[in-house]
Structure formats: structure tokens, C-alpha cells
Amino acid sequence: MNEFVEYFQPIVAALKTQRAQWQLGVIAICLGAAWLLSKLIKPRLSSPTPSWKFGAGSAVRLLFPLLALLFVWSAKVLMTKSGSVIVLKIAVALLLSFALIRFSIYVIRHVFPPSALLKSWERVIAYTVWVGVAFYITGLAEPVIDFLSDLSFKVGKQEVSVLQVFLGIISIVATLLIALWLARLTENRLMQAQHMDLNLRVVLGKFIRALLLVLAVLIVLPLVGIDITLLSVFGGALGVGLGIGLQKIASNYISGFIILLERSIRIGDVITLDNRTGTVTQMRVRYTVVSYADGT
């Protein structure tokens, strides 16, 4: 317990100085300026004009933390040469975590549909980020990182640490989420392009989603230390899997692209299937949704 308290003693001592009080004043000014500037910019970001749209209205919630982070970080850089800026460093860490949490929640809310599980993951993300910031502020981050680096196990002939696994999972999840988020933004923009054929918009949206996911995998594999040449082995295994057990799924995808490209069916068309008449309401790559008059 005494060792834990020792981590806070330098921070408490620094906060009692006159320089720390000046830094608190600078932080208050930066926060006030960020709040006023965000109020001025927010109406433009919320405008229905397509050029100001960033995918969803909740994106404006990122404006204040980002502006505050920019102002406080700039103040820290300017005041570093004149002495200690421990208060500004703490403020930068807190604002960075605040912006990171809001950005993460903004992304996952537009990748996955609302659910109780989604809210649970939002809390997990927030708690994880705040715990990391607490470790950074108190100086506990370095011993924790060393401890996780020392915990290792062997995978074949390669030795892997717990820290590498943890960072690898974060990198994979973050990269895939950003790819899915960009794909959702692109699909929304394409579906709003009224001058383009609807089937072509659907095809382009699905193709861009697949392309972004492939790029995300190619980017994240080297980050976690996996050789990209291993994809050739995986590709061979996938080919065998398609040939044995995934024929129907693969044929559905190929058929879906053919239907979309040929434009033989469009959303809103009335079709008859098995002596039942319904309206095409959704067209996906793998399936098409037809709504009948009885609600099925």
C-alpha cells in the first residue's frame, strides 16, 4: 500500500506549486475556448449539406474533446521549455482518453446494431481506457508493461509474450472496426446517389466493403508479427473448404453478384415465387428479401 501511495506523491507535490496553478488556469482557458469554438462549428457539421456529413450526427460529439486536446497540447509544448508541465501532461492524457472513448463508441455504434451486448462492450472500452490512463499518470504503466513482457509462452518455435498478444488483439479489432465503419460510410453515400442505378450502388457498396476488409487484414497482419506469405497457405485451405463444405455459400455470393450486375431484379419490383406474389425490399450479395402481403 505504501509503495502504491509513493506513485502519487510527486503529483501531489507538483500540484501545490504556483506553476501548477498557472497551468490549471491555462487548462481552464483552453477548455473554454474549445467549448466556444465547438459551439460555432457544430451547426455547420450538423448541416444537411452532404459535404459536411461525416456519417452520423453523433460525430459532432468528438468536436469538443478534439479541440480541447489540441489547445491543451499546444499549451504544453509552448510551456515545456520554461519548466515542469506535469499538470498539462495529465490534462493531455485525460483529454486523449476522453476523445478515444468517444471515437470508439461512435465507430461501433455505426458498425453494429443497438443491443445490450453493444452497451456492455462500450463500458468495457471506457473502463479499459481509463485504467490505462490511471497507470500512465501514476507511473505504473512501465512496471505493468515489463511484467506483461516477461510473461511469455511458445507457439511452435516462436516465443510470444502476453503483451504482444494483448497489443495484437487491440490492433486487429481496431483495424477491422475502422474498415467496417469506412465501408458503412461509403455504402450510405452510394445509396444516396440517386443518379446511379440502384443495383450498381449495391454492388459497389459490397465490393468496397470486401476490399476494405482485405486491406485491413493485409495491414494488421504485419503489425502483429504475422508473415503475409502465410496467406498463401490459408488461401489453399480456403479453396479446399470451398470445394468441400462451402459450395452453397460461395455459389450464393456469386449468384448475388450476377443478379445485381445483370439488373434483372431491382428493389421495389413485384415478383411471383412459388405461386406467391411479393415485393423486393432488400438485395444483398448472399440473399434477397421479398415481402409478401401476409407479412412474411
125 touches 131 (CB < 8 A): no
Eight-class DSSP state of 51:
G
- Mean pLDDT per block of 10 residues along the chain (296 residues) reads 54 68 86 88 61 50 84 87 79 86 80 77 82 75 77 68 78 83 80 71 78 80 65 61 64 75 78 85 79 84
**Count of C-beta atoms within a 10 Å radius of residue 76:** 20
Tell me, letter by letter, the H, E, C secondary structure of 277-295: EEEEEEECCCCEEEEECCC
The residues near 27 (Cβ < 8 Å, ≥ 6 apart) are: 72, 75, 87, 88, 91
Q: H helices within the chain, ranges in order?
A: 2-6, 9-15, 18-45, 63-79, 86-109, 116-138, 141-150, 162-191, 198-223, 230-244, 247-262
203 touches 261 (CB < 8 A): yes
What's the rounded Cα separation, in Å, for the pair 119 and 140?
29
What's the rounded Cα separation, in Å, for the pair 281 and 290?
6
Q: What is the pLDDT of residue 256?
A: 74
Q: Which candidate, 173, 174, 201, 176, places its Cα nearest to that of 189?
A: 201
Q: What is the pLDDT of residues 61-100, one digit of tens each?
A: 778 888 888 998 888 888 887 777 778 888 888 888 888 8
**Count of C-beta atoms within a 10 Å radius of residue 283:** 20
DSSP 159-170: EEEHHHHHHHHH
Radius of gyration of the chain (CA): 26
Eight-class DSSP state of 192:
T
**pTM of the predicted protein model:** 0.60
**Count of C-beta atoms within a 10 Å radius of residue 139:** 13
DSSP 119-136: HHHHHHHHHHHHHHHHHH
Cell readout for 128 is 479499459
Q: What is the pLDDT of residue 269?
A: 85
Cell readout for 48 is 444537411
What's the rounded Cα separation, in Å, for the pair 51 and 38?
18
264 touches 258 (CB < 8 A): no
